[in-house]
Chains A and B, each alone.
Chain A
Amino acid sequence: EFVLTQSPGTLSLSPGDTATLSCRASQSITKNYSAWYQQKYGQAPRLLIYATSTRATGIPDRFSGSGSGPDFTLTISRLEPEDFAVYYCQQYGNSLTFGQGTKLEIK
C-alpha cells in the first residue's frame, strides 16, 4: 500500500517565520511528482504546487516545493496571517493518495 506521511502533524510558527513541511512516500517511485494543497476551515482545498515545484496560478512566490522520491517539501517563507491553515501533499503511487495533513497554526 502506497502511503504518504506528513510531518510534523502540527507546526506552530509566527508571522514572518519560514515553514518547512515534509511529505514522505512509503515507496520511492522514480520521477514521481507531488502536489500540495492548502485548506482553510470550512473551505475546499486549493492547489498550491504541482509537478513537485511549479506554483499554481496566482500562488505567491513565498510558496515553493522541492524534493524527489520518497521525500518532498513545501516551504512557505515570510508567513502571512492568511497562510495559517492545513496543508496536504498528494502523489500518485498505485492510486491517487493524500497525506494526512500538517496543521500550520499561529504561535
Chain B
Amino acid sequence: QVTLRESGPALMEPTQTLTLTCTFSGFSLTTGGMCVSWIRQPPGKALEWLGRIDWDDAKYYNTSLKTRLTISKDTSKNQVVLTMTNVDPDDTATYFCARLLVVPGDGAYYNYYMDAWGKGATVTV
C-alpha cells in the first residue's frame, strides 16, 4: 500500500522560507519511473503543480515559481523535501505531495499521472 504524508509549519510570516517534508511508504524512489510531485491548492481555487523529483534525482519545477523552489530527496528516509523561499500571502494554500508515475506510452511519448496523494498540509502566510 502506497502512502504519503506531508508535514511542516501551519503558519508562516512573509519573507520566511517554507520547508515541507513528504514522508512516503510502499514504493522506492530509486525505482525507474517513480517520482514525487508537489502540488498546491489555494483556498477555493484549482490545483497548481509546483515541481517533481525523479528516481534519478532529476528535478523539474513550475517555471513561474522556479527561482523560489527547491526539491530534494533522502531515499534512506523515504522523504522528499520542498523548500520555498520568500513566502507571501499568495502562497497560502494546502500543499500536497503525490507519487507521480512516468510510464512509457506510444513511441517517444510518456504517461504522467499521480496515483497516490497525501492528505495535504495547510500553510497560511
B117 at the interface (CB under 8 A from A): yes
**With an 8 A cutoff between CB atoms, is B67 at the interface?**
no
Q: Say yes or no: is B111 at the interface (Cβ < 8 Å to chain A).
A: yes
Instruction: How many A-B residue pairs have C-beta atoms within 8 angstroms? Tell me.
Output: 74
* Residues 1-58 of A at the B interface (beta carbon under 8 Å): 30-33, 35, 37, 39, 43-47, 50-51, 56-57
Report how far A88 CA is from B103 CA in the complex, Å.
Answer: 20
Residues of A within 8 A of B100 (CB): 96
**Helix, strand, loop or mixed for chain B's interface?**
strand
How many Å from the CB of B60 to the closest CB on chain A? Answer: 7
The answer to whether A50 touches B113 (Cβ under 8 A) is yes
Which of A51, A95, A99 is B113 in contact with, Cβ under 8 Å? Answer: A51
B62 to chain A: closest CB distance in Å?
6
Contacts of B73 in A (CB 8 A): none
B76 at the interface (CB under 8 A from A): no
In the complex, besides A50-B115, A90-B113, A95-B63, 10 extra interface pairs with C-beta distance below 8 angstroms are: A31-B107, A33-B109, A44-B118, A44-B120, A45-B47, A47-B113, A91-B112, A98-B46, A99-B46, A100-B46
Which residues in B have some Cβ–Cβ distance to A below 8 Å?
Answer: 37, 39, 46-49, 52, 60, 62-63, 96, 98, 100-101, 103, 105-107, 109-120
Selected A-B contacts with CB under 8 Å, 22 pairs: A31-B106, A31-B109, A32-B109, A33-B105, A33-B113, A39-B47, A44-B96, A44-B98, A44-B120, A45-B47, A45-B114, A47-B113, A47-B116, A50-B101, A50-B111, A51-B103, A51-B113, A96-B37, A96-B49, A96-B100, A101-B46, A101-B47
